[in-house]
A and B are shown apart, each in its own frame.
Chain A
Amino acid sequence: MKLELRGITKRFGSLVANDSINLTVQPGEIVSLLGENGAGKSTLMNVLYGLYQADAGEILVDDKATHFKGPGDAMAAGIGMVHQHFMLIPVFTVAENVALGHEPTKFAGQIDLSEARTRVKEISDKFGFNVDPDALVRDLPVGVQQRVEIIKALSRNAKTLVLDEPTAVLTPQETDELMSIMKQLASSGTSIIFITHKLREVKEVADRIVVIRLGKVVGEAKPTATASELASMMVGREVDLTVERSKKAPGEVVLSVSNISVRDDRGQLAVDALSLDVRAGEVLAIAGVQGNGQTELAEAIVGLRKLEKGSGEIKFKGANIEHKSVRHRLDDFLSYVPEDRKKDGLISEFTLEENLMLNQSYDDDRGAEFVNRGLINAKVLEAETEKAIKAFDVRTQGSKSLAGQLSGGNQQKLVLAREMSRPHDVLLVSQPTRGVDVGSIEFIHDQIMQERDDQQTAVILISTELDEVLALADRIAVMYRGRIVGIVSADATRETLGKMMAGIAA
Chain B
Amino acid sequence: MAIEVTPGMFSSQQVKPSMKAGLVMAAFTLLTLITFGFGGNPAIVTFQLTEKGHALSVADFAVSSSGFALLVGGLMGVITLVATALTILKRVVPMWLSLIFGLLWVSALLGWLAAGNVVPVSFILSNAVVLAVPIILGALGGVISERVGVVNIAIEGQLLTGAFVASVIGSVTDNLWLGVLAAAIASAILSMALASLAIKYLVDQIIIGVLINLLVIGVTNFLYSQWLANDGQNVNYPGTFDVLAIPYLSEIPIIGPALFANRVTVYLCFILVPLVWFMLFRTKLGLRARAVGEHPLAADTVGINVARTRFWWVTAGGAIAGIGGAALSIGNVGAFGREMSGGLGFIALAVVILGRWQPFYVSAAALLFGFAIIMRVWANQVSPGIPTDFITMVPYVVTLIAVTGFAGKVRPPAASGEPYTKG
Q: Considering the chains assembled together, what is the distance between the CA atoms of A498 and B2 in angstroms?
A: 10
B9 to chain A: which residues have CB within 8 Å? Answer: 268, 291, 481
Cα(A49)–Cα(B15), bound, Å:
41
CB proximity of B365 to chain A, nearest CB, Å: 21
CA distance A100 to B293 in the complex (A): 13
A110 CB contact (under 8 Å) in B2, B7, B283, B302 = B283
Contact A51 B295 (CB under 8 A): no
Interface string of B1-26 (1 = CB under 8 A from A): 11101111110101110000000000
Q: Could you tell me if B10 and A269 are in contact, using CB atoms closer than 8 angstroms?
A: yes
Q: Restricting to B299-322, which residues have a CB under 8 Å from any CB of A?
A: 299-304
Interface of chain B: mostly helix, strand, loop or mixed? loop
Contact, CB under 8 Å: B303 / A72: yes
The total of chain B residues at the interface (CB under 8 A) is: 35
| Contact (Cβ within 8 A) A83 B14 | no
Whose C-beta in chain A lies nearest to the C-beta of B300?
A71
With a cutoff of 8 Å between Cβ atoms, the chain B residues found around residue A51 in the complex are 300-301, 422-423
Interface residues of A in 68-115 (CB under 8 A from B): 70-72, 75, 81, 83, 86-92, 96, 99-103, 105, 108-111
A141 nearest CB neighbor, chain B only: B3
Contact B291 A89 (CB under 8 A): yes
A502-B2, A502-B3 given; A139·B8 CB < 8 A: yes
B52 interfacial by beta-carbon distance below 8 Å = no
Q: Per a CB cutoff under 8 Å, which of B285, B294, B300, B303 touches A89?
A: B294
User: How far, in whole Å, are A384 and B205 apart by their CA atoms in the complex?
Assistant: 44
Query: B282 and A89: CB pair below 8 A?
Result: no
A421 CA to B12 CA, complexed, in Å: 43
CA distance A110 to B280 in the complex (A): 10
B287 at the interface (CB under 8 A from A): yes
Q: How far is the CB of A135 from chain B (nearest CB, A)?
A: 7
A171 CB to nearest chain B CB (Å):
7
Q: Please tell me if A46 contacts chain B, counting CB pairs below 8 Å.
A: yes
CB contact between B15 and one of A101, A143, A268 (< 8 Å): that residue: A268
Within the assembled complex, what's the spacing in Å between the Cα atoms of A143 and B3? 9
Tell me whether B304 and A101 are in contact (CB under 8 A): yes
Closest chain A residue, CB of each to CB of B10 = A268
Q: What A residues does B297 contact at CB under 8 A?
A: 87
Q: Does the CB pair A89–B295 fall under 8 Å?
A: yes
> Complex Cα distance A89/B292, Å?
9
Asked if B299 and A132 sit within 8 Å, CB to CB, the answer is no
A140 on interface, CB distance cutoff 8 Å: yes
Minimal Cβ-Cβ distance residue in B for A113? B282
A408 interface contact, C-beta 8 A: no
**Chain A min CB distance to B18 (Å):** 10
Rounded to whole Å, the gap between the CB of A267 and the closest CB of chain B is: 6
Query: Could you tell me if A111 and B302 are in contact, using CB atoms closer than 8 angstroms?
Result: no
B149 to chain A, nearest CB (A): 12
**A177 to chain B: which residues have CB within 8 Å?**
1-2
Q: Are B283 and A109 in contact (CB under 8 A)?
A: yes
> Looking at B7, B285, B287, which has the most chain A CB atoms within 10 Å of its CB?
B287
Q: List chain A residues, Cβ under 8 A from B409.
A: 266
Q: Does A490 contact B (CB under 8 A)?
A: no
Q: Would you call B303 and A92 a contact (CB within 8 A)? A: no
| Interface check A482, CB cutoff 8 A | yes
Q: Please, how many angstroms separate the alpha-carbon atoms of A320 and B277 in the complex? A: 55
Query: In whole angstroms, what is the CA distance A448 to B2 when docked?
Result: 33
Chain A residues bordering chain B, tally (CB within 8 A): 56
By a CB distance below 8 angstroms, the chain B residues around A108 are: 283
A71 touches B422 (CB 8 A): no
Please indicate the chain A residues that have their CB under 8 angstroms from the CB of B10 in the complex: 268-270, 481-482
Which residues of chain B are near A277, meaning CB under 8 Å?
none
B6 lies within 8 A of A111 (CB) = no
Interface residues of B in 156-172 (CB under 8 A from A): none
Contact of B5 among A81, A91, A144, A263 (CB under 8 A): A144
For residue A87, which residue of chain B has the nearest CB? B298
In contact, A101 and B3 (Cβ under 8 angstroms): no
The residues in A between 26 and 52 inclusive whose CB is less than 8 angstroms from any CB of B are 46, 49, 51-52
A46, B297: Cα distance in complex, Å: 12
Give A136 to B6 CA distance when docked, in angstroms. 11
Q: For A99, what are the chain B residues with a Cβ–Cβ distance below 8 Å?
A: 287
Which partner residue on chain B sits nearest A261 by CB separation? B14
* A157 CB–B CB distance under 8 Å: no
- Mark A132-149 against chain B: 1 for CB-CB distance below 8 A, else 0: 100110011101100000
Q: Which residues from A are CB-within-8-Å of B15?
A: 267-268
Are B3 and A173 in contact (CB-based, < 8 A)? yes
Do the beta carbons of A100 and B291 come within 8 Å of each other?
yes
Interchain CB contact under 8 A, B298 and A71: no
A171 to B15, CA, bound (A): 27
B221 to chain A: closest CB distance in Å?
42
Known: A139-B7, A171-B2. A89 touches B283 (CB 8 A): no
B residues lining the A interface (CB < 8 Å):
1-3, 5-10, 12, 14-16, 282-285, 287-288, 290-291, 294-295, 297-304, 409, 414, 422-423
For the complex of A and B, list the 4 residue pairs with the smallest distance between their C-beta atoms, beginning with the closest: A72-B303, A101-B302, A173-B2, A87-B298
Chain A residues near B (Cβ < 8 Å): 12, 46, 49, 51-52, 70-72, 75, 81, 83, 86-92, 96, 99-103, 105, 108-111, 130, 132, 135-136, 139-141, 143-144, 152, 171, 173-174, 177, 263, 266-270, 291, 481-482, 498-499, 502-503
Using A71-B300, A101-B303, A135-B7 as known contacts, list a sample of 16 further A-B pairs with CB atoms less than 8 Å apart, ordered by residue number in A: A12-B423, A46-B423, A75-B303, A83-B301, A87-B295, A89-B295, A90-B414, A100-B291, A130-B1, A135-B5, A139-B8, A140-B5, A171-B2, A268-B10, A481-B10, A502-B3
